[in-house]
Amino acid sequence: MDVDAGHSAALGGARSTEIPLSRRLRALLSWPSAEDDPVTRLARTHRSIHPGADIAALRRSYAIAESMHRGQFRKSGDAYITHPLAVAQICAELGMDTVTLMAALLHDTVEDTRYTLQALTSDFGPEVAHLVDGVTKFDKAFYGKAAEAETIRKMIIAAGKDVRVLIIKLADRLHNMRTLDARSPASRARIARATQEVLVPLCDRLGIQKLKRELDDVVLRHLEPEAYARIDEFVNNRPDWEPYHNDVVNQARVVLRRDKIVAEVKARPRHYYSIWKDTVAGNHSVPFDLPRIAIVVDGPDTDCYAALGSIHCLWRPVPGRFKDFIAAPKNNLYRSLHTTVIGPGERTLEVLIRTRAMDRSAEYGIAADFRYPKPGVNAATSTKQLDWLRRVLTWEPDTIDGAQFLQSLRCDLAETQIQVFAEGRPIILPAGSTPVDLAYELGTDRGDHCLAAKINGRLAPLSSELEEGDVVEIFTESDAHGELDLKVAPPGPRREWLRFVKSPHAQMQINRWFAEHQEPGISISDKVRLGRATIGLTLRKHNRGLANDLPLRRLAEMQGYPDLETLLVAVVDRTVEPDTVVEQLIAMVDRPE
């Protein structure tokens, strides 16, 4: 290990008061050599995917992280550094770049040691610092109960600038979940549930199936240990399973070769969580799992349909079970053909068909852009999967507090989504959306002025629920003339829209319109509310928030206002600039004397 002695801004980690003798002995007995060097495995994985990678930078990050965390231990008794090292290893296996691995190694230093963000920035540069800051939790002492929600909001905003923040967070949670056994049953359940609610759906949106499978399974193991054990027992005790797969894989290979389609055919076992879900959904008394194979063609997209033809000639397809996610990709851009056939022995068999590129992005999702980088493309910000993230971030200025943001995020993540077509392109909306939701998705102006809609060529009420595949036309006041026989209604949205719109985006836009078109002569209580919101938004620019009014009250007092309300009204009337108030507030909180 090469500690770059002159480099670090602050060496020396927290001290632990009692280190068991056995651990001290172990530490004394282990002698550093090239083979036990803790970074060796990480470096090897990283180089196997990115041959030219800068390993010295990894070692430097490890050295700082190790020295800062020295003396800290995990609940399992392991030295703390084993955790960031494992997180970096997960990122390396996904194929992430060197900067991500450096940030993964350092991800807990700012939160848990006296290493500061400034020191990190000067030691490793702003890119690594941004990633570490994005996964650093807010202090409970300052933010109180709001800390958790504010932390998630901060992470999402940071991810909007650089998606690698989310990948580190997911790897962090995966390792914490793997090692959750050391925690109490109550905190295991709490952490597992939080993972299931927010991080698993986030992982799904980013399309990283490789991570999602393991997260799913480890959540299941902690939340439903008996069901997990039953599935484990079932999967490991079915002697006919492997021979059956060998047989179908061979038969498929033969027909594909005969039809001159170059492809790889493999068994594609399902993960435990997916078996469990199907078992529960179908009310089965024993775990329910169908044989499944994947065909990865080495050719253009059209080869997938040729392979499908060969398979349907070999085995009779089950009607209604064919899905074409190539023509209509899922919202996380997953692409593949799915079919179910009656295989040998009249057994139901599932077949996935995709190209090599589709297979890579199905497995690695957004991480594929780092694993297989394209020259001249900045994978951190350029991916199409980020469209969803950008949509989430457009709520941001409209949402006042973190709890509300988290609620909207949860809704959006839990929502099943549909795809409709408008203006000649596919548009993703939450299931249950109406033409008004669509209009706002097409643009604020289209939303504010929408008058009527045609669904699949027929005029339909604005409150109609849209369905998957609908072709929708939105008419606004300006295109209504001549086109439709409509009385022109007053401009702007109707209040009753709020009763049926589905997407948080449309809801907020409608509320915004009414807020902006309020009667003049705004009341004091409105000003107080507005002033508080203005301060909240200004704090957000500094990545800060307020758990309660206490610091603001203290500031109002210090600045000589009779009460907090007067200060808030002054902000709205612009007798004092919100930026000034926020600077004073931060200075007061950070330097309490």
The Cα 400–Cα 271 span in angstroms is 40
The CB density around residue 237, as the number of other CB atoms within 10 Å, is: 8
Q: Which is nearer to Mn ion, 172 or 401 (CB)?
A: 172
User: Exposure string (b/e) for 360-390, b if CB count within 10 Å is 16 or more?
Assistant: bbbbbbbbbbbbeeeeeeebbeebebbebbe
411-440: which residues touch Mn ion (CB under 5 A)?
none
The Cα 37–Cα 35 span in angstroms is 6
The sign one gets for the Cα dihedral 140, 142, 147, 152 is: negative
* Shortest CB 112 distance to Mn ion, Å: 8
Q: Which of 448, 447, 445, 427 is nearest to 437 (CA)?
A: 447
Q: Of the listed pieces 165-173, 223-231, 249-257, 584-592, which binds Mn ion according to CB under 5 A?
A: 165-173
* Shortest CB 61 distance to Mn ion, Å: 14
371 in Cβ contact with 364 (< 8 Å): yes
Query: C-alpha 280: how far from its chain's center?
Result: 26
Sequence length of the chain is 593
> In a 10 Å sphere around its CB, with 0-12 CB exposed, 13-18 middle and 19+ buried, how is residue 131 labelled?
buried
Q: Of the listed pieces 16-24, 31-39, 102-110, 506-514, which binds Mn ion according to CB under 5 A?
A: 102-110
Q: Which is nearer to Mn ion, 108 or 473 (CB)?
A: 108
198 in Cβ contact with 153 (< 8 Å): no
Q: Of the listed pieces 71-79, 166-174, 495-503, 538-546, which binds Mn ion according to CB under 5 A?
A: 166-174
* Shortest CB 159 distance to Mn ion, Å: 16
* Shortest CB 36 distance to Mn ion, Å: 23
Give the residue closest to Mn ion by C-beta.
172
Would you give the DSSP letter of residue 341?
Answer: E
Q: Which is nearer to Mn ion, 108 or 448 (CB)?
A: 108
The 315-334 site mask, x for binding Mn ion (CB under 5 A), equals: --------------------
Q: Which is nearer to Mn ion, 194 or 318 (CB)?
A: 194
* Shortest CB 173 distance to Mn ion, Å: 8
211 in Cβ contact with 174 (< 8 Å): yes
The Cα 432–Cα 537 span in angstroms is 31
Q: Of the listed pieces 38-46, 50-58, 169-177, 447-455, which binds Mn ion according to CB under 5 A?
A: 169-177
The yes or no reply on residue 398 touching Mn ion (CB under 5 A) is: no
Q: Of the listed pieces 69-77, 100-108, 226-234, 325-333, which binds Mn ion according to CB under 5 A?
A: 100-108
Residue found by looking up tokens 């690695």 in the block: 364
* Shortest CB 132 distance to Mn ion, Å: 11
* Shortest CB 156 distance to Mn ion, Å: 18
The yes or no reply on residue 172 touching Mn ion (CB under 5 A) is: yes
Q: Of the listed pieces 91-99, 164-172, 402-410, 476-484, which binds Mn ion according to CB under 5 A?
A: 164-172
Q: Which is nearer to Mn ion, 172 or 204 (CB)?
A: 172
* Shortest CB 110 distance to Mn ion, Å: 11
The sign one gets for the Cα dihedral 328, 334, 336, 340 is: negative
Is 111 a residue of the active site? yes
From 37, 54, 111, 232, the catalytic residue: 111
- How many chain residues bind Mn ion (CB under 5 A)? 2
From 112, 172, 359, 369, the catalytic residue: 112
Cα Rg, the chain, nearest whole Å: 28
The Cα 231–Cα 233 span in angstroms is 5
Q: Which is nearer to Mn ion, 87 or 341 (CB)?
A: 87
Q: Which is nearer to Mn ion, 108 or 470 (CB)?
A: 108
305 in Cβ contact with 256 (< 8 Å): no
25-64: which residues touch Mn ion (CB under 5 A)?
none
Q: Which of 129, 128, 147 is nearest to 139 (CA)?
A: 147
The Cα 233–Cα 226 span in angstroms is 11
Q: Which is nearer to Mn ion, 172 or 303 (CB)?
A: 172
Q: Which residue of 97, 108, 289, 350 would you call a contact of Mn ion, by CB under 5 A?
A: 108
The yes or no reply on residue 303 touching Mn ion (CB under 5 A) is: no
Is 563 a residue of the active site? no
Q: Which is nearer to Mn ion, 37 or 111 (CB)?
A: 111
Query: Distance between the two ends of the chain, CA-based, in angstroms?
Result: 42
CA distances from 495 to 122, 128, 319, 514, 548 (A): 52, 46, 45, 8, 31
The Cα 258–Cα 314 span in angstroms is 12
Catalytic residues: 111-112
- Residues that bind Mn ion in the complex, under the rule CB under 5 A: 108, 172
